Amino acid sequence: MDRLFKRKCRCCLVSLSTTAPTEYYCSPECKLKNNNTVNISTDIVNGSRCHEMTTHVWPNGYAYFNHDKKRYAAHRLSWEIANGCSLKDDEWILHACDNPKCVNPDHLRSGNAKDNAKDREVRNRRPTRSATRSAKLQGTKSHLSKLTEQQVREIRYELTHLSNNEISKLYHTGVSNIEHIRAGRTWKHV
């Protein structure tokens, strides 16, 4: 028979017994809660900063952990807790902050594979995240990338369903640039 470990949940202190020698939490919710932290160096998105997972981060940037032989993606679990409903397999969770280890529900929205592919397509044409991040850390946020004609065409499409703020995050350009495009003041020839 498997040995039973008796301990208290590191988050809520409830008593638990488990056969997993390295399980210190009573629930995936507690694990999520105790292993993320507000990152003060990130931008304010939708009114708050990123809540980054500090453990369980995989090479793809997202955090996953196991509990009771089930695997959880931290950002999906966070969305489910905040919204009080379960995601279907074909529902995706997209980050407004473009920070995969972020679990702040205010930065997460649900979408489908198409939305995700679109986000990814946009992302592939931008500087890599680490390059963007180091530029941010150097305080060169005002140095915003110049848009290409192709990007402006994409942005026109995004205007139909995203806010100026969201688009500016996606394309790493100033909100005023997006406002000008929306108002038709710039890029008239595209």
Binding residues (CB under 5 A) for Zn ion: these are 9, 11-12, 26, 30, 50, 97, 99, 102, 104, 107
Check the CA dihedral 31-107-85-112 and report its sign.
negative
CA angle, 43 then 44 then 46, to 5° = 135
Nearer to Zn ion, 67 or 151 (CB): 67
Nearer to Zn ion, 41 or 148 (CB): 41
> In whole angstroms, how close is the CB of 188 to Zn ion at the nearest point?
35
> In whole angstroms, how close is the CB of 133 to Zn ion at the nearest point?
13
Nearer to Zn ion, 109 or 182 (CB): 109
154-157: Cβ within 8 A, 24+ apart: 154/122, 155/181, 156/181, 156/190
> In whole angstroms, how close is the CB of 27 to Zn ion at the nearest point?
5
Nearer to Zn ion, 95 or 177 (CB): 95
> In whole angstroms, how close is the CB of 170 to Zn ion at the nearest point?
14
Give the H/E segment covering residue 83: helix 74-83
Alpha-carbon radius of gyration of the chain? 20
Q: Which two tokens stand for residue 91?
A: 């529902």
